[in-house]
Amino acid sequence: MNFDYPFLQPDFFAALEQSGGAAPESGWYPQHLTAGDVWMPLYLKTHNRGEYVFDHGWAQAYAEHGLNYFPRLVTTVPFSPLVGPRWRGQPDVALLRGHVEQLARENKASSWHLLFPDQTTQQTLESWPLAQREACHFRWFNRDYEDFESFLATLTSRRRKSIRRERQSCAQADIRVEQACGEDIPEHWWRAFYACYVDTYYKRGQRPYLSEDFFHRLRHSSLAKQLMLVLAFSGDEPVAAAFYLFDQHTLYGRYWGSLREVDGLHFELCYYRGIEFCIRRGLKEFDPGVQGEHKILRGFEPVITRSLHWLREPAFHRAVTDFCEREAVMVRAYQQEARSLLPYRQVE
């Protein structure tokens, strides 16, 4: 069954906005671009939370010069630091640019930020001199593995043994792991997942970005068949959960939470079960989201991601462009260092 990229589907954004996650009450003001068959997500924002491209220093520089950095315009998939297309249809770049610049003037927005575009999106915008910022994320690639053991066979002996020990630790703790997709996900699993999800935020003294209503809307939408839950049980009691979306090419790891600390449980639910799912379904990539150098030793490879930025004040646009170019040198060096730590006997 073919599934489209989930993060540009109307039902995904409807769930975000109607549940209050990406809505005015949370500082996300929808200004989406609609022109013919073209649709591009666009928000006027009064903060930079939920974006995963950190520009606090830019905001501080504006303040030091007596200027307002907020509000600003952002094209992104809220709360989802995942690379992909950033519009539906084929936009006219000149019209897109004119629309963004006019909207910025009307709303006194300092800038426009397009986060985590895929290569096609970047190439389409090459005629617009945007500052390009780089980051390093980690991604797992399916090299036509027959099963999880054939994946392990490509790793060094030390890492194979370590991963097997991590997976065995859950069984030794009497933890049972189950997973299901789409309509096969039991109703009570969703309540258990959300309890785990919010508890992880509360432990850090933060409020969760997404409400239970968001997940309710998503699982009753056209995207229902592209959802997967993985739950860990101690007896009949749920103790941890991970939430994924997928399309015909990629698995996207999104949210995780646990009510109990168990050695290896995070790796089992968020990485190893995802890898197994990709192999079984023939998916080519597994994007688990941002951060986590611990992913390297589990076979996730460092890749360069990008975001594009336009600042309405020319002097600041030049300064940010220069900063991004210098920062990219350090990001590339970090990527090479990370690659040297990969556990593969031979990386293809």
* pLDDT (tens place) for every residue of the chain, 348 residues total: 568 999 999 999 999 999 999 999 999 999 999 999 999 999 999 999 999 999 999 999 999 999 999 999 999 999 999 999 999 999 999 999 999 999 999 999 999 999 999 999 999 999 999 999 999 999 999 999 999 999 999 999 999 999 999 999 988 899 999 999 999 999 999 999 999 999 988 888 888 999 999 999 999 999 999 999 999 999 999 999 999 999 999 999 999 999 998 999 999 999 999 999 999 999 999 999 877 789 999 999 999 999 999 999 999 999 999 999 999 999 999 999 999 999 999 654
- The CATH number for 153's domain is 3.40.630.30
Say whether both 188 and 247 belong to one domain.
yes
Say whether both 116 and 41 belong to one domain.
yes
| 96 domain-assigned | yes
CA atoms within 13 A on the CB side of 344: 18
Report the C-alpha gap between 94 and 105 in whole angstroms. 17
Burial of residue 23 (CB within 10 Å: 0-12, 13-18, 19+) is middle
Say whether both 41 and 107 belong to one domain.
yes
Say whether both 266 and 192 belong to one domain.
yes
| 7 domain-assigned | no
Take residue 67 and report the two structure tokens written for it. Answer: 């200027």
| 110 domain-assigned | yes
Say whether both 121 and 165 belong to one domain.
no
Say whether both 147 and 278 belong to one domain.
yes
Say whether both 184 and 255 belong to one domain.
yes
Number of compact structural domains in the chain: 2
> Is the backbone of residue 300 left (phi > 0), alpha (psi -120 to 50) or beta?
beta
- Rounded CA Rg of the chain: 21
Instruction: Count Cβ atoms below 10 Å from residue 54 Cβ, excluding itself.
Output: 11
Say whether both 250 and 268 belong to one domain.
yes
| 100 domain-assigned | yes
Instruction: Give the domain range for residue 212.
Output: 143-283
Say whether both 131 and 193 belong to one domain.
no
Say whether both 202 and 276 belong to one domain.
yes
pTM of the complete model: 0.95
